[in-house]
Every structure is written in C-alpha cells, then in structure tokens.
Amino acid sequence: MAEKVILVDKNNKEIGFEEKMKAHIECKLHRAFSIFVFNSKKELLLQRRAKSKYHCGGLWTNTCCSHPRPNEPLHKAVYRRLKEEMGFNCSLKEVCSFMYKAVLGKKLYEYEYDHVFIGKYEGDPNLNPEEADEWKWVSIDELKRDIIKNAEKYTPWFKIILEKYLDKI
C-alpha cells in the first residue's frame, strides 16, 4: 500500500489525503515536519540522506524530516519518525511553522506546510540505512560557512529554515 500524506490548505487545515509520490509530482500542499537536535555544545546533528531516497539523495539536511501519516497526530509522528530514521528519541518542542515550495528535479516538487521542532540529545544516532548514509555534529557557524561554499550539498528546506528561521531554533 502506497504511503499517503495529509493535504492541507494555506491555513494548515486538513483537506484530504494523497499518495506521497503523487503529491510530490503534482506539487500539492501537504503537512510535514523538520527536526533539529542539538547537543550540549550547541552543535546540530545532521544526516546525509541515503543516496537511494526518491529525492535529495546524498544531500545533507537537518536531523530528521518527514510527514505525519493520515490520522496521526503531529506530536506523535515526530517521535515515531526520529526513532525510525535516527534510532533514538528525545524531548521535542515545536518552535515555528512555515510554507515553502521547491523544485527538486526529476519532475518532483516539495510544497509543504512544515512544522519545525527542536530537541536536545547527547550521544550517537543509530542510523536506518534506508534513510541516512552518514551523520555528524556541526556548529551553526561552521554550517553557515559550508553552505556558502557548498550550497548544492544541502536540501532546499534545510537552507530555507537556516536562512529565515534560525533565530527560532
């Protein structure tokens, strides 16, 4: 059975469900979340998306990002997905939400109402190889410098969040 996403209007009101790939091909607005986990040194845990992912494979991004399932509360989806992708859980708090649209290539688009969560964790993740190939802790200053030099190595939503919403995380 194909995975579905929650379609929303521009006010984040649920309006239906759609098969995930179809929503990305037809550029339909859907609910998503992005998780940023920091350690006590204020370093951000990044993941490099698995090369096998249907979009943005091999790119660096925030700790975890995904979509809640139909009829799954957002506050439960973030914990489910963090455990599935990174192999750990920690306390999470929503800090902002925003809409964005990005062309991903391969006739795919992201059009998301994205909820941004932050958390704190000490230790190493246990990556799900279907989701992520690599991880690292990085300071925000180091990250900003690298994005200036190597913007193409990072996902579109991650760069948007860092550019427009860094003061909230």
User: Is 65 noted as a catalytic residue in this protein?
Assistant: yes
* Tokens (6 digits) for 97: 């939400």
Q: Which of 111, 63, 59 is nearest to 88 (CA)?
A: 63
Half-sphere exposure of 99 (CA within 13 A, CB side): 12
Q: Of the listed 18, 85, 110, 112, which one is catalytic?
A: 112
Active site residue 112: yes
**Residue at token pair 């246990």:** 126
Cα–Cα distance between 28 and 108 in angstroms, integer?
Answer: 11
65, 90, 110, 131: the catalytic one is 65
Residues designated as active site: 65, 112
